[in-house]
Amino acid sequence: MKNLHTIIVVLFLCFGCKSPEARLPESVQSGSFLKESAERNIKLNEKEKSLIQEIIKNNPDKDYIASESGFWYYYNTKIENDTLQPQFGDLVDFDYNVSDINGTEIYGNANRTYIMDKQELFTGLREGLKLMKPEERVTFIFPSQKAYGYYGDEDKIGTNIPLICEVTLNTITQEND
């Protein structure tokens, strides 16, 4: 019996004290997800740009301007003599309507006050307001990545929806006033 215990202890010491071995991962991750996501986004962007170009082509009476930020707009009412435009921290009061790319109204006749770059507002509208002067009315066309993107607004605007927004900038109250 003593020999059996000795054999068990010797076997345990020989095989139980083995150095740890690195385990292989169960699945190998590659950059394929990111590549596929980028490809999907490029295709989506091209599709939306094509839709927007079609809208512009079908409205030759509008003088569309392509912004440096990746959206398009035209002036319904342009103020030439005023130079005041919203800056960081300024309080702006504006009215707006939001429609999908087909012109179906999503939000109508809304009013909002917003502190420039200090409160939440979707990227395109925040950048669009910076181009405006008091009492101007501008119609913006935002591709989905400049609007609410993948998440939507969790209410009426779904995933990857390009938007048309008509905005009237009522007032600008400068931060240092």
Mind listing the pLDDT tens digit for each residue in 80-124?
887 889 999 999 999 999 999 999 999 999 999 999 999 999 999
For 80, residues 6+ apart whose C-beta sits below 8 A from its C-beta are none
Tell me the β-bridge partners of 99. 105, 164
Domain extent listing, the chain: 65-173
For residue 21, the tally of other CB atoms under 10 A from its CB is 6
* pLDDT at residue 142 in the model: 96
Mind listing the pLDDT tens digit for each residue in 12-69?
666 655 566 666 666 656 678 888 888 888 999 999 999 999 999 999 999 999 999 9
Look at residues 96, 98, 169 and name the one whose alpha carbon lies nearest to residue 136: 169
Look at residues 93, 91, 140 and name the one whose alpha carbon lies nearest to residue 117: 91
What does each C-alpha distance from 159 to 73, 77, 100, 140, 155 come to in angstroms?
22, 31, 12, 19, 11
* pLDDT at residue 129 in the model: 96
Write down the CATH number for the domain with range 65-173. 3.10.50.40
